[in-house]
Amino acid sequence: MRITININDQLVRAAKHRAAEAGVPLREIIDGALRQYLAETIKKKPFKLRWKPHDLGVIQPDVFLESADLLHDLMDEPVPF
């Protein structure tokens, strides 16, 4: 894409000099600088788990958490209302 922008004269001279040293077009120097700038400034915020505890009540007297078999048997029984 073609675009017209105003760039500081010293920056343009330095960029042209760097392009000549590297043997690449000025466009590549400007593209690389812009890509690097955008990569550094657009950083994702790290994921933060928001832990919100809820009161789940109390364990019923007939429930024994030590035995998985007893727990499965209890879950298979119909719930009395």
Q: What is the pLDDT of residues 16-30, one digit of tens each?
A: 999 999 999 999 999
Measured torsion, CA atoms of residues 31, 12, 4, 41, in degrees rounded to the nearest 10: 40
Span 25-44, average pLDDT: 86
| Domains of the chain, residue spans | 9-41
Q: How far apart are CA 13 and CA 8, in angstroms?
A: 9
> Is-above-0.85 flag for pTM?
no
